[in-house]
Amino acid sequence: MSTETAPVSDAYDELLERYERYSTVQSAGGVLSWDQQVTMPEGGTPARTKQQSVLSSMGHELITDEKVAELLAEIEEAELSGEQSAVVREIQRTHERAAKVPQELVEEISETASEALTAWESAKEVDDFSEFAPYLQTHVELKREYAAEIDPDRDPYAVLMEDYEPCLSLDRVESLLEAVRERLVPLIAEIRDSDASLAVDTFDGEFPVADQEVLARETLDTLGYDWDRGRLDTSTHPFTAGNQFDTRITTRFDSSDPLGALGSTIHEFGHAQYNLGLPREEWGTPLGESRDLSVHESQSRLWENHVGRSQAFWELFLPQMKADLPGIEDASVADAYQAANQVYEDNLIRVEADELTYHLHVLVRFEIERDLIEGDLSVEDVPQEWNDKYEQYLGIRPESNAEGCLQDIHWSHGNFGYFPTYTLGSVMAAQLHAAAERDIDGLSETVADGDFQPLHEWLSANVHQYGARFETNELVKQATGEEFVADHFLNYVETKYSDLYDLWARAGESAEPEAVSRWRLASSAVLSAVWFLSSASAPAAPHYRLWYTLCPSLPTYPVDGPAGNCGAGCLLPWPAWRIASRNLARQDEGDAEKRTSTPFCLPVE
């Protein structure tokens, strides 16, 4: 990365020096944590806890030192380059957040977390939410206090979320997640009702862990993992840890689920590539650190979903898999692709979810924790709310709290605001991948050929090399040419899963040619004008009749039928129209109550 030239004050240099020490202490803590999760013998815990605690308070002292505040104040007036301003912005944010929260409160939260963890484990074991509820209540109260220390005038959940996403406002996050919910819920309902049969059992069987480990290492070779700066181990929960000089990944193996290990390995590879791609010369400054969790997750999801779950990848990869895992010799590329992309219709567990339903698991958690922190939901009502939302979004209802609201560890740590980053990462991955497809000629052919260099170079040039130089939205805008939006993700999943589950055929459709799409766009503008003009004065039935008479795609609208959606998806040319058409098909089949809404639908009544 080129460094812009500008007069640099002594204060700026000293600030950088201090930040580097803080950052080094933090990364040393990261190595101890990796060791604890991967190689440390169990007996090492008492000493490790002390080592971690000392490092953590050293880091806190370094970043909250009064001298840091003085230096920041001194620099305020200095003339800085764009990169230097970004460095100061990031250090200031870290300093202020750490300095505003009293150390006693941080310790109280940490103590509650360790007690809550034990209570959560036991509550989950015996399926008794009431054992965990008091700790969750304490966490909610402490975290509200924590948010008030940082900014008493703002929504507490918005403040908490900034621990993970400092540059995205709650409003933007909510609007992205709502867009996802609006279109995923009906799509998943369609899939549940479809009678397409996918080759879901392609990888059924027992596959020795040793064979799977060989395959995982070969996968990393194929993708281009730098073994001189990394390693692969196993851990209970796969994770990635490190920096531009040394980033290690872990995975987990299950002899009956080779796709699980493969997916985790590719996912963590994406995280690792981001760390390894950060500029080495910026080590110890924010420019050498990754942006927020959503950006990190976008890198893992891009590799896991847009590469590892693609048809092109399976064309390349299946022969290798067959060589390593005896028993799948008869599998075709289509079989493997279908198995890797199947949607589990009755899965209640987030970490076992497929690419599509995963996000509704996240949405349930996001909505509940936001309401808890904002005081709109009480702790005792969490199980009921959880189960209702599962039924509403996924059409399934947990029978126990162990497989319901007690399944995740996050709330026992007091981590509120973390869950949304998973979905934001996938949404961003789709936008970045669409831009990479635009910029790289024949991207999927390069994947099928095993040439990942163009994609590595694109991600390095557009994301990795910048570290925390730009705020999240700006980074996405620079890389893709537009704001961070949900459209690319929604178009990607709707097209992919409608193809896989033959949803076009179900709605009596065939894929719409581009020329028809353009025609529809033009005609819908005219029809929209008629719609709005007529709706201003006409009573309901006649103007719907007029609308449907004029609308060529919806000839069978039941004007006298029960309430449903009007199908004004014509206002937008393609995805919404598809949903509207499917709704009409359901109406025809007597399934009117299953008609699902589009973001653009207008109520009939």
Residues that bind Zn ion (CB under 5 A): 300
Find out whether 163 and 417 touch, Cβ atoms under 8 Å.
Answer: yes
> 18 or 267, CB closer to Zn ion?
267
Q: How far is the CB of 323 from Zn ion (least distance, A)?
A: 29
CA distance 591 to 569: 19
Cα(154)–Cα(325) distance, integer angstroms? 54
Question: Which is nearest to 105 in space by CA: 81, 138, 66?
Answer: 138
CB of 553 to Zn ion, least distance (A): 41
Measured from the CB of residue 460, what is the shortest distance to Zn ion in angstroms? 19
| Residue in the structure block whose two tokens are 């809550």 | 116
Min dist CB 297 to Zn ion, Å, is 5
Residue (263 or 573) nearer to Zn ion, CB: 263
Q: Which helix (H) or strand (E) holds 232?
A: strand 232-234
Max intra-chain CA distance, the chain: 78
Q: Are strands 232-234 and 246-251 parallel, antiparallel or unpaired?
A: parallel
The minimum distance between CB 425 and Zn ion, in angstroms, equals: 7
**Residues 18, 67: contact at Cβ < 8 Å?**
yes
Cβ contacts of 585-594, under 8 Å, gap ≥ 24: 585/506, 585/507, 585/508, 587/558, 587/561, 588/556, 591/193, 592/561, 592/562, 592/564, 594/189, 594/193
**Comparison of 322 and 410: residue with beta carbon closer to Zn ion:** 410
Of residues 300 and 462, the one with the C-beta less far from Zn ion: 300
Q: Which residue in the shown chain puts its C-beta closest to Zn ion?
A: 300
Q: What is the C-alpha to C-alpha distance for residues 580 and 604, in angstroms, rounded to an integer?
A: 13
Confirm whether 121 is a catalytic residue. no
CA separation, residue 62 to residues 22, 163, 398 (Å) = 6, 19, 47
DSSP annotation string for 431-495: HHHHHHHHHSTTHHHHHHTT--HHHHHHHHHHTGGGTTSS-HHHHHHHHHSS---SHHHHHHHHH
Complete DSSP assignment for 281-295: GGTTSGGGS---HHH
Instruction: Characterize the bridge pairing of strands 240-243 and 246-251.
Output: antiparallel
Q: Which two tokens stand for residue 324?
A: 């390593």
Q: Residue 241 Cβ, how far from Zn ion at the closest point, in Å?
A: 12
Pairing of strands 232-234, 240-243: unpaired
| 250 three-class SS | strand
CB of 270 to Zn ion, least distance (A): 8
From the CB of 267, what's the least distance to Zn ion, in Å? 6
Please pick, among 90, 268, 282, 355, the residue that the annotation labels catalytic: 268
Which residue shows structure tokens 């939006």? 485
By annotation, the residues acting in catalysis are 268
